[in-house]
Homo-oligomer: A and B are copies of this chain.
Amino acid sequence: MRPSGRAVDQAREVKIIRHFTSHAEGSVLVCFGNTQVICTASVEKGVPRWLQGKGQGWITAEYGMLPRSTHTRNRREATSGKQGGRTLEIQRLIGRSLRAAIDLKKLGEFTITLDCDVIQADGGTRTASITGACVALVDALRSLQLNKSIKTDPFKQFVASVSVGMYKGEAVLDLDYPEDSNCETDMNVVMTQEGKFIEVQGTAEGVAFSRDEMDAMLELAEKGCRELLVIQQQALQAL
């Protein structure tokens, strides 16, 4: 039934390659099937002005797509003079999600910026970004501990994210682009190791969804996130 031939509860193959580029404190290439995102975590001393003197750190995120990461070329946001509404919405989501992974008090007055840049898009770029950024964030925290900038580990919990949706009347896990552009409902879920939710964002694209359908989608999302949480931790076992 699915264009890719996957079972309804089958996610795409996930790869997480750490140390992908050399300058960032954390740098990950994350692949959800053909969707590929470079996630870097950059540590800077200091915090935004409105947090100064509160003895805590900050996590923020920025998101971008290379102009030709998509089927047809999209205008470069730097030339159009501003980030679009979709971009702002996604980077706000990534930032909120990753702040849930951290005890900002323990981080101290450091800012960590998570840059998620899509180099190839095939659906699920925001969920891949969150999942990959979490790994980059752990690497950045390790570097802060290694150079003794912080004493206690501010990491609280892993967060992972996956999309689910109603496609041709059935709940499916991890939509790729052909599904994403034809589904009735699209839902992005961010979940912690404890199985609790950070974000649930479901949007009907044309056909409203019932409470039963919502339940079916949430079930799949929990399964998908659990699998991702394992993959994240495996990736981090190597040095």
Task: Tell me if A's interface is mostly helix, strand, loop or mixed.
Answer: mixed
Copies in the complex: 6
Q: Give bound CA distance, A214 to B209, whole Å.
A: 16
Interchain CB contact (< 8 A) of A199 among B64, B203, B218: B203
Is the beta-carbon distance between A199 and B204 smaller than 8 angstroms?
Answer: yes
Is the beta-carbon distance between A68 and B27 smaller than 8 angstroms?
Answer: yes
Q: Give bound CA distance, A101 to B83, whole Å.
A: 29
Q: Does A148 reach chain B (CB closer than 8 Å)?
A: no
Is the beta-carbon distance between B113 and A73 smaller than 8 angstroms?
Answer: yes
Is the beta-carbon distance between A82 and B85 smaller than 8 angstroms?
Answer: no
Number of chain A interface residues as a range: 35 or more
A93-115 contacts to B, CB under 8 A, are: 96, 100, 113, 115
Residues A79 and B68 in contact in the complex (CB < 8 Å), given A73-B44, A203-B199: no
Is the beta-carbon distance between B218 and A200 smaller than 8 angstroms?
Answer: no
Please give, as numbers and ranges, the residues of chain B lying within 8 Å of A196 by CB-CB distance: 204, 208-210
Jot down 23 A-B pairs with beta carbons below 8 A, ordered by A.
A21-B120, A23-B121, A38-B119, A40-B68, A66-B117, A84-B88, A85-B91, A85-B92, A89-B92, A100-B206, A100-B208, A119-B119, A195-B210, A196-B209, A197-B202, A197-B208, A198-B203, A198-B204, A199-B204, A200-B200, A200-B214, A201-B201, A211-B218
A interface with B by C-beta (< 8 Å): 21-24, 27, 34, 36, 38, 40, 42, 44, 62, 64, 66-73, 76-79, 81-89, 91-92, 96, 100, 113, 115, 117, 119-121, 187, 192, 194-204, 206, 208-211, 214, 218, 222
